[in-house]
Amino acid sequence: MIYPKLFLDMEAARWNLANDIPWQNFNADKLSDRQLHGIKMNALLEWAAAPAVAMFLRDNSTDPDFSAFVSIWFYEEQKHSLALLEYLRRFAPDFFPTMDEFKEVSFEFDPASPLETLGMHFCGETRLNQWYRCASDYHDEPVIKSIYATLAADEARHARAYFQYMKQAVAEQGNAAKLHFAKIAVLMTNPRVNPALHPTNLHVNQELYPRDTITSRLPDPAWLRHWLDQEIKFDLEWEKKVEKGILGNLSALFSEKLSSPAELRHYRKRLEDMNAGSPEAAMA
């Protein structure tokens, strides 16, 4: 069981919202309304952990270990939203979201393969870690700079936790698990498929299409793309860090050196061919 050790490790690393954020250092001169708008949108994105948790618990109902870990993840993601909301409450209450805006990002996600959802969240946390590092660099206002740096470290810790469950799945299910993870990683390392490769930007409810991504239900659906490209400037150099993070860890997971998305695509194809050729190979 992975959860008990994760609980202790994450509890030891946990920060305190009241005491560990340097609220007293706030400097209003180093903040624009556009930046406050971004903080509001980001708080709403983090709030959308709730439907993801409902999906995790529903689709992993036979896995009590992972379901227990989801309780930690939910707590910490809601805390991320709360840290951003607390910033708005203290320094820019006009930007605090309305209850209707919170409700809009809470909707049911369709069932999906639990392993693909797991792999997607590993990739998503890896990406979010870099988005928040980039956001921390971008901001000049000391408090929000500190909040983003703090959230970035949490997201890296979440990625490592998801990775432990991925290792367990590979140990138990062999190539069948590898194939699920490779499929998702191909999607999440291909900017031509989706320019902002994060779970909040994926379609998750067929009946609500096309308004079935979290970002499409924000008060400003175009915000994320603009924030990444024009504000925090998440450029190719940052994108490379995400790619290295995903491929570097998958290389260890698959015992296969993967230096580029192209190598990952070839590896996935080999896995598919192997699994199609022999059902036993899927468990190898």
Choices 24-32, 123-131, 195-203, 207-215 (CB under 8 A): range interacting with another protein: 123-131
d(CA 165, CA 65): 9
C-beta of 115 vs 159, nearer to another protein:
159
C-beta of 15 vs 74, nearer to another protein:
15
C-beta of 78 vs 251, nearer to another protein:
251
- CA quadruple 175, 176, 179, 180: dihedral sign: negative
| Cβ neighbours of residue 180 closer than 8 Å, sequence gap 6 or more | 113, 115, 116, 119
Hey, what amino acid is at 200? T
Choices 21-29, 100-108, 126-134, 224-232 (CB under 8 A): range interacting with another protein: 126-134
Size of the site for another protein (CB under 8 A): 22
C-beta of 109 vs 132, nearer to another protein:
132
Q: Which of residues 11-30 bind another protein (CB under 8 A)?
A: 13
Coil, strand, or helix at residue 119?
helix
Instruction: Choose among 78, 61, 247: nearest CA to 163.
Output: 247
Instruction: Choose among 207, 196, 176: nearest CA to 242.
Output: 196
Distance of CA 140 to the CA centre of its chain: 24
Choices 25-33, 146-154, 176-184, 191-199 (CB under 8 A): range interacting with another protein: 146-154
Distance of CA 81 to the CA centre of its chain: 13
Q: Which of residues 219-248 bind another protein (CB under 8 A)?
A: 241, 244-245, 247-248
d(CA 246, CA 253): 10
C-beta of 160 vs 203, nearer to another protein:
160
By CB under 8 A, name the binding residues for another protein.
9, 13, 126, 129-130, 149, 153-154, 156-157, 159-161, 163, 241, 244-245, 247-249, 251-252
